[in-house]
Structure 1
Amino acid sequence: MSAESTKSGPPLQTSLSINFLIIGGGIAGLTAAIALRRVGHNALVLEKANKATARGFGGGVRLPPNLTKILFHWGLKPVLMRRALISHTMTFMKYESSEYLGEHVWDKGVLKETRGIYMLSTHDDLYEIFYNKAIELGAEIQYDAHVVDIDVESRQVTLENGKTVSGDVLVGADGELGVSRETVVGTPANGHPTGVAMYDTLIPSGELEDYVKSIWKDNAIFTAFGNNQAMLAYPVHDTDEIALQFYGPDEKSGNYGDEPSVYVPDIAKGLHTKLLSRMTNADKAVRISVRAHEDIEDWVSDDGPLVVIGEAAHPFPPGTIQATAMAVEDAAVLAKLFSHLSEERQVQSFLYAFQELRQPRTRAVRAGEFGNIFYMTLADCEETVRRDNGMRAKAAAGGRNVLEGLAGDVSRLWDEIRTIFGYDCEDEADDWWVRWGVLRERAIQRSSVIMDEESMLFDFSAMGVHVHEVEAAGDSDE
């Protein structure tokens, strides 16, 4: 059954429309605007950069089934089918020798259960799709609107130019280094270097033409395991280009939004010459440090209706499968909860419900993504030998899915990936409303009725008895 067929009707519309002020106009901010407008709320997005900068340079983005099912629910399947590619296969090789280790084909049954598909795109294409959808739905997006201060109690932000903007609910979607996260946590939260960086770039597919013909069938995601380094490669832009993502030692710090500055041959040292010789015409890469962040306990401010989402709430390792998906899931859950808004008193409880639903999910998924990176870039050891030999044996025996049935961490990681793909965040939000939200509303209504009934009872203890003496008729002087 397709995602569209299970949720083909229009979304539930709120009976109390309020104004959401979204700080940050990246993927998290735009998708929050889309989701909230779909259920009838107003959304104003403030982005500190201009549109071209916010749109990004076009590095690769993988869209797993748990993400695409949401986008299909939102009516974006037609444009995704035009501008993104469907991938069915992962191909594995050794980084230093280019030895083929095998392949893994996404199981059709698994994908059918997830109600999504695995797709490949780029950040700039995805941004443009979300921007257009947000505008189509009536969201307002202001660029060059840099928020420098947040007054949560007054529900107001101050821009760099001195102007103030207010809303009923403030949504912090301005990333791990933004003012929203700092406002909620109380201190800057820049994370700790792990010694690993991701280097992100594109290369014309013609540079790899002969190699593409031999390994890039079915829009495969190409993964190379190395000694303290790894490479991911997959086609984008209608296969005209290949997205390249290298993981290796972090010699300098780098963030999203930095200009491409690193020559690929400099970071691809150790890559087999068959591939390295084809990298000379690759665009310069953006260096993005992989930082480890401590989980923050509170995503909702104690001072008022400010909630952080996306990278502001849970920074993910760059380039990982679920980094974009978790931000979109946040947006979908937030809107699902606020589709039930009928009274202002519900605002804070819905924000805390959002935190309750999203924290366990994002923490578990983020831990798995860190595990994937460090497993791909393991230094040569007995564990990597077992991994590679297991894949070789499965491939030699004619097995297509070399990740299944392997012992240890490979099998565990694959099982976790399947579970993550099948998760439906919107269903989870609906379940919360049925199990807890409705019960809470009924309890409040019963309490209100009891109070009203008590206020209608006659309070005899408050009565005063006043006696007026009346003269008897016979005692009159008349």
Structure 2
Amino acid sequence: MNKRPLPHPSRTHESAKKATLLIRFVVIGGGAAGLACAVALRRVGHRVIVLEKGPDFVGPSKHRGIRMPPNMTKIFNYWGMRDKVGEIGVVTERVVMSRLETAYLLGIHCWEREMLLEAGGEFIALYHSQLRLMLLETALELGAETRINAEVVEIAEDCRSIRLACGEVLEADVIVGADGSRGMCRRLVIPQDPPKGTGIMLFNSIIPADRIHADPELRTLVQQEQVSQWAWFGHDRASVCFPVGPSKDLAWYFFVRDQGAKEGWDDVLTPEQFAPYVRGSEPRLQKLARLARPALTRMMVRDFPEDWVHDTGRLVLVGSAAHPFPPGIIYGPSMSLEDASVLAKLFSHLRDEEQIPSFLYAFQNLREGRCMKNRLLDVSNIQFMMEPEGEGTARRDMMMRAKHDQDSNVAQWDHNRELFGYDAEDEADNWWVQWGLLQERAKASQWEDDKHLGLFSLDVDVRLS
């Protein structure tokens, strides 16, 4: 039986506060970031249309698994989607860490129940495609409009309308650019945007549960008393695998030093082509390689744009359009869901169209530092797992093993409080209390002064520095 996600002890599902002024959002991009924005914005009452240029909302994500950390799953709990997540995901309770070449156990990291209760969520693994379909279903239930085969070919200079390839023009009060790191919206905000290599390329595969269970040695990866993620640390290589969904298919990532792969998932290797990269690994990894048909991509990053908001104050970048994360790491999807939560919470306070630019600039101000920090952490963690043999890795392995032998998770929550305890909606509410209400009061005071003097008030640029 799959365990269900934990509710937040102090913040359970409740009806969202509705905005006083309801406006029309056009979301360009039907991936997880765009669909999450649709769910969040509909919860606070705004009108939303999501445009996906492809023929469906799944795309290439059907062959990828993702891990959702507590800061992500707590948002689903708060949105009332706890049962939906439980139906398609599997709660993982620990991480088992070993040497890639020898299977030598470096440590087992169990997530403490008390920590997860305080964080308000759990670690849950699922198919990326199932995440998108769940978000799509919820957005439609909440009244969002969605379209497929809806390619945007032009965004008006004032960012108040878009034109589709079919010739149709759609009006917008705000455009949400969720079309990814190579999409039109990002190019509009940051025209020169060359990708940069991380020095890593990634093999990604899903191996069906029946093939795992057919092998007694591989069966140990999924038949554990506690549902486990597995991590292997190796010389210029690393690997991660975890069960996805109730079927317990196995999602498998294998990282190696970059040897000139292309960006994207177009290259699919046969087991024979993949075998040289896995040679010398412990037996279970070599067995997985014989079952896999992995897709290969180069792990690239792009700079964070100086501005996530267009000069018009009517278009904002979210998800990988604003903060591109390389594939195969854990915090990219969670940052996109946090984006949606913060954006909607800010716009739940909307009373006047003049607030729109300040809310969009506040969104960037609240999100930029956290996304930058977590992307650095994500990439650094993979590099840490792939460190070449030497004195540094010997010390690393010895320290990890010593912690395992001490059977101590005492410092776990202190180390992860900032990461997993982050509450996106609290951050937006804090901004509103500290700055938004202050601006409203200042505007009201100015209006009273002008009324008394018979003057018109001036618009003020309220962009946060």
Would you say same fold, with TM above 0.5? yes
Q: 1:197 aligns with which of 195, 201, 205?
A: 201
The reply to whether residue 372 of structure 1 matches residue 381 of structure 2 is: yes
* Matched letter for residue 308 of structure 2: W
Aligned twin of 1:169: 174
* Matched letter for residue 369 of structure 1: D
Give the deviation of 1:25 after TM superposition. Answer: 0.4
Is the CA contact (8 Å cut-off) linking 1:26 and 1:55 kept in structure 2? no
Matches within 5 A, 1:315-330: 315-330=324-339
Report the CA distance shift for 1:67/1:191 in structure 2 as closer, same or farther (over 3 A).
Answer: same
Q: 1:117 aligns with which of 118, 122, 144?
A: 122
Q: Find the residue that maps to 1:288 and give its secondary structure.
A: strand
The reply to whether residue 277 of structure 1 matches residue 281 of structure 2 is: no
* Matched letter for residue 335 of structure 1: A
Q: 1:69 aligns with which of 70, 74, 93?
A: 74
Separation (CA, whole Å) in 2 of partners of 1:390 and 1:222: 19
Q: Find the residue that maps to 1:347 and give its secondary structure.
A: helix
* Matched letter for residue 62 of structure 2: F
Q: Percent identity, aligned pairs only?
A: 36
Where do 5+ consecutive residues of structure 2 fail to align?
Answer: 1-5, 456-465
Separation (CA, whole Å) in 2 of partners of 1:55 and 1:340: 36
Q: Find the residue that maps to 2:129 and give its secondary structure.
A: helix
Per-residue Cα deviation, 1:374-428 (whole angstroms, up to 9, x for no partner): 1111111211111111222333x35265xx77xxxxx9xx965442011101100
Separation (CA, whole Å) in 1 of partners of 2:296 and 2:173: 38
Aligned twin of 2:8: 3
Aligned twin of 1:236: 244
Aligned twin of 1:350: 359
Per-residue Cα deviation, 1:18-73 (whole angstroms, up to 9, x for no partner): 10011100000000000000000011111111116536223111010000010111
Is the CA contact (8 Å cut-off) linking 2:263 and 2:300 kept in structure 1? no
* Matched letter for residue 249 of structure 1: R
Separation (CA, whole Å) in 2 of partners of 1:451 and 1:160: 47
Separation (CA, whole Å) in 1 of partners of 2:123 and 2:283: 31
Report the CA distance shift for 1:128/1:42 in structure 2 as closer, same or farther (over 3 A).
Answer: same
Give the deviation of 1:204 after TM superposition. Answer: 2.3
Q: 1:89 aligns with which of 81, 94, 110?
A: 94
Separation (CA, whole Å) in 2 of partners of 1:162 and 1:4: 50
Once superposed, what is the RMSD of the aligned Cα atoms?
Answer: 2.2
Is the CA contact (8 Å cut-off) linking 2:159 and 2:314 kept in structure 1? no
Separation (CA, whole Å) in 1 of partners of 2:416 and 2:388: 23
Which structure: larger Rg?
A: 1
* Matched letter for residue 362 of structure 1: C
Separation (CA, whole Å) in 1 of partners of 2:9 and 2:81: 10
Give the deviation of 1:120 after TM superposition. Answer: 0.9
Give the deviation of 1:297 after TM superposition. Answer: 1.1
* Matched letter for residue 273 of structure 1: P
* Matched letter for residue 448 of structure 1: W
The reply to whether residue 384 of structure 1 matches residue 398 of structure 2 is: no
Per-residue Cα deviation, 1:90-141 (whole angstroms, up to 9, x for no partner): 0011111122222010122221211111111110111111110011111111
Aligned twin of 2:275: 265
Q: Find the residue that maps to 2:50 and give its secondary structure.
A: strand
Report the CA distance shift for 1:154/1:76 in structure 2 as closer, same or farther (over 3 A).
Answer: closer
Aligned twin of 2:428: 429
Q: 2:135 aligns with which of 130, 135, 140?
A: 130
The reply to whether residue 454 of structure 1 matches residue 460 of structure 2 is: no
The reply to whether residue 224 of structure 1 matches residue 228 of structure 2 is: no
The number of equivalent residue pairs is 444
Is the CA contact (8 Å cut-off) linking 1:33 and 1:45 kept in structure 2? yes
Give the deviation of 1:443 after TM superposition. Answer: 0.9
* Matched letter for residue 61 of structure 2: G
Separation (CA, whole Å) in 1 of partners of 2:248 and 2:179: 32
Q: Find the residue that maps to 2:289 and give its secondary structure.
A: coil
Give the deviation of 1:274 after TM superposition. Answer: 3.8
Separation (CA, whole Å) in 1 of partners of 2:450 and 2:332: 48
Separation (CA, whole Å) in 2 of partners of 1:207 and 1:227: 28
* Matched letter for residue 328 of structure 1: L
Q: 1:59 aligns with which of 64, 81, 102?
A: 64
Separation (CA, whole Å) in 2 of partners of 1:158 and 1:252: 37
Separation (CA, whole Å) in 2 of partners of 1:135 and 1:262: 39
Identify the range of structure 1 (43-52 vs 59-68) with the bigger mean alpha-carbon deviation. 43-52
Report the CA distance shift for 1:389/1:286 in structure 2 as closer, same or farther (over 3 A).
Answer: same
Matches within 5 A, 1:396-475: 397=405, 399=407, 401=409, 417-455=416-454
Separation (CA, whole Å) in 1 of partners of 2:295 and 2:62: 9
Report the CA distance shift for 1:95/1:19 in structure 2 as closer, same or farther (over 3 A).
Answer: same
